Chains A and B, each alone.
Chain A
Amino acid sequence: MRNHFRGKFLVVLVTAAMLVSLAGAVLAKEQVTFWTNHSGEPDRSTLESIVTKFNESQDKYEVEMTVVPGSETDVAKLMTAVAAGTGPDVYLIDRFTTAQRAVAGALTDLTPFIERAGWKPQDEYLPFAITESTWAGKVYSLPFDTDTRALYYRKPDFTEVGLDPEAPPATIDELTQVMDKLTKRITERRFDRLGLIPWMGQGWHYTWGWAFGGEFYDVANQQLTVNDPAIVESFAWQADVADKYGIAAIQGFASAFGSEAQDPFIAGKVSMIIDGDWKIAGLKIFGPELDYGITNIPTKPGVGPVTWAGGWAMALPRGAKNPDGGFEFARFAAGPVGQEIYTRETSHLPTIKALVDRTDLLADPRHEFFLAGLPFAKSRPAVPVGALLWDELTAARDYVINGDKTPQQALDDVIDRVQSELDKNL
């Protein structure tokens, strides 16, 4: 009797064990690793919730997310890991560096995965975003979020000097005049407030070059065109500003705010600044009382509204151990479900066409202004020398505003240095 019981018990036990292991074999999900350097909130926890959603949505893959802190260009970690074959399956990449990393051999070509899935990302994503993700006709990343730029201005400052706070400058000429009006001098070489420092915030070479109607790259001929007369003019305008107020005085004034810890716009030391949509969140935290407006970046007449977009993308590093799972997750996160969650929780802008009209996702109505800019947003040239071009343009601008080079010469020099590097990769 006892033996019988024991036998029966054993049979049950063995059966149960077999069932469990069978279920385990079916249910055991393949591991997918995902790295991001979005260490701050709300980005980090939102990415985590996208991961959770993906893990719940299917039972083949289990994604594990790791935060890899560091700045966006700090790719030492990615490069070393890929070189040793210890990299992740999915990596959130600064989209504008896609071509660069692809040429360096750090990324997996996604085109075969896309073809196998019978999918056309070009139909789904905004043109500028998928262009940035593509190099030499192959897709290397799936666009995630984006951002655009605009002119922020302090309404009370406008009122104070007799300007209409509801009619901010729209053209470069108007801007130049308003800058002058808003500037308060203490002495000839000292300022209490400047109207605008063109190169502060997001007032990059690209911003003004486009605002003056220039183009930086001729895609068809694969030629850099940074000495486009309009861009030369935009540099000359910045040199004029530097001259008029005195470069030493402006830079001295600006360097009070050289580190990230001080915001001259909040402090009322500049009345206007070019900045991105993320500034709304920053202002809410650091300057909750501030009454400010947002408007289009002033342009040359006839250029039309101008803004430009950056943002991030999901990529599969070379040597990903689970590329199929990685691609599934990348497509989910960068797809409608993932992007909807991300837009709603972080107010970063989406790159999916279907979400462009979804103003209901935005926490603050002020973000709508930036969403509206997406259809005409420009993006930096999708070339493998993007970082070099950026650094060279920045140095060229410094030379010009310091009076060390003429705009024409500085921009010619940029082409000299960068075009040959670009040609090596063509």
Chain B
Amino acid sequence: MGMTRQEKRALVMGLAFAAPWIIGFVLFVAYPVAASLYYSFTEFTGLDITGFVGFGNYIEMLTRDELFHKSLYNTLYYLSLAVPLGFIVALCLAMLLNLKIREVSIYRTCVYIPNIIPAFAASFVWLWLLNPEYGLVNLVLEQVGIWGPGWVSDPRWSKFSIVLMAQWGAGGSAMIFLASLQDVPRSLYEVAELDGASAWRKFRYITLPMISPVILFHVIMALFGAFQVFTPAYIMTAGGPANSTLFYVLYLYRNAFNYGKMGYASAMAWLLFILALVTTLIVMKTSARFVYYQGEER
């Protein structure tokens, strides 16, 4: 074809280095993905296919299933809060943990702890902290004259409470940001300082561009995580109160394993897939303007 020798060599090397994933894709991903696409057009209990329904599952969920709409709404609501908030919290934490303080190792460990401890211990403490009557959060709010809401027990606040709780795990993302902040050459800051640049300008014109590839990573992963938010609702609220934390994947899981509607669950999964893919492509396209790759091959 119209490839130079160099291009051919690059193609061969590129494929060779990517081989582990390609092998894994063929062995363990392609078939389950294709199977689930097929299931989405059937009535499938998880064990037996009892009928082929064409687009029936898709039509039912888009036109008739009220709970589907509710779960989609809940998820998008969660996503629109959790993604920006999670980004800000994680980045601020990372910047703090990047300060030259002698005992910073201790703080890093503390901040990371919620990622280590089992979820049930964390959920207990959260319910306790957010308790409207005795919880620390409302006690503090009361001091400043605000009557705090019933965080988890009030359907209007429950989603926001789960967003708040998710920030407790921000230590994980903060570690990735921290690793990337460590990579920013100190010489850049030194030059800027001698030029008398303000802290904001250093952040805006050095830090942000230098870590922008990792920001892109974080945003896309946070989007995926928010689209598929499941665990907190599964272990703490069981989707309640009044279905206010019935997230998309929780409802999907119930259809798949509790209601024996694996076909319907597969259709839900594929709709979510399309939604996530479109979102990702938009983010990727727009990111080209913001993300600065030092090592960009031109």
Contact at B46–A398, with CB atoms within 8 Å? no
A414 to chain B, nearest CB (A): 12
Contact at A256–B258, with CB atoms within 8 Å? no
Known: A252-B153, A255-B153, A402-B155. A190 touches B133 (CB 8 A): yes
A387 at the interface (CB under 8 A from B): yes
Among B67, B131, B149, B152, residue most surrounded by chain A Cβ atoms (within 10 Å)? B131
Chain A, interface residues (CB within 8 Å), range: 35 or more
Residues of B within 8 A of A251 (CB): 150, 153-154, 241
Chain A residue nearest in CB terms to B254: A391
> Which of A83, A254, A256 has a CB less than 8 Å from the CB of B46?
A83
A193 to chain B, nearest CB (A): 12
In this complex, how many residues of chain B approach chain A with their Cβ under 8 Å: the count is 35
CA distance A248 to B157 in the complex (A): 11
B207 at the interface (CB under 8 A from A): no
A190 to chain B, nearest CB (A): 6
A65 at the interface (CB under 8 A from B): no
Known: A100-B260, A104-B48, A248-B154. A255 touches B240 (CB 8 A): no
Residues of B within 8 A of A74 (CB): 257
B180 at the interface (CB under 8 A from A): no
| Complex interface: stretch among B121-129, B163-171, B194-202, B218-226 | B121-129
Contact at A387–B154, with CB atoms within 8 Å? no
Contact at A398–B240, with CB atoms within 8 Å? yes
B161 to chain A, nearest CB (A): 10
Contact at B47–A104, with CB atoms within 8 Å? yes
A421 at the interface (CB under 8 A from B): yes
Residues of B within 8 A of A402 (CB): 155, 241-242
B243 at the interface (CB under 8 A from A): yes
Residues of A within 8 A of B203 (CB): none
Contact at B240–A252, with CB atoms within 8 Å? no
Contact at A259–B254, with CB atoms within 8 Å? no
CA distance A89 to B153 in the complex (A): 43
A402 to chain B, nearest CB (A): 5
B86 at the interface (CB under 8 A from A): no
Contact at B150–A385, with CB atoms within 8 Å? no
> Which of A100, A105, A394, A424 has a CB less than 8 Å from the CB of B47?
A105
Contact at A259–B133, with CB atoms within 8 Å? no
Contact at B150–A252, with CB atoms within 8 Å? yes
A14 to chain B, nearest CB (A): 50
Residues of A within 8 A of B124 (CB): 259, 261
Residues of B within 8 A of A253 (CB): 132-133
A254 to chain B, nearest CB (A): 7
CA distance A239 to B127 in the complex (A): 24
Contact at B154–A394, with CB atoms within 8 Å? no
Residues of A within 8 A of B45 (CB): 103-106
Chain A residue nearest in CB terms to B260: A104
Known: A73-B258, A385-B259. A395 touches B242 (CB 8 A): yes
> Which of B47, B66, B132, B239 has a CB less than 8 Å from the CB of A252?
B132
Q: Which of A's residues lie within 8 Å of B, judged by CB?
A: 73-76, 79, 82-83, 100, 103-106, 190-191, 248, 251-256, 258-259, 261, 318, 384-385, 387-388, 391, 394-395, 398-399, 402, 404, 417, 421, 424
Q: Which of B's residues lie within 8 Å of A, judged by CB?
A: 43, 45-48, 66-67, 120, 123-124, 127-128, 130-135, 149-150, 152-155, 236, 239-243, 254, 257-260
Q: Can you give 24 contacting A-B residue pairs, CB < 8 Å?
A: A74-B257, A79-B46, A82-B47, A83-B46, A100-B260, A103-B260, A104-B47, A105-B48, A106-B46, A106-B47, A191-B133, A248-B149, A248-B150, A248-B153, A251-B241, A255-B150, A256-B135, A258-B152, A259-B120, A318-B47, A391-B258, A398-B243, A402-B242, A404-B242
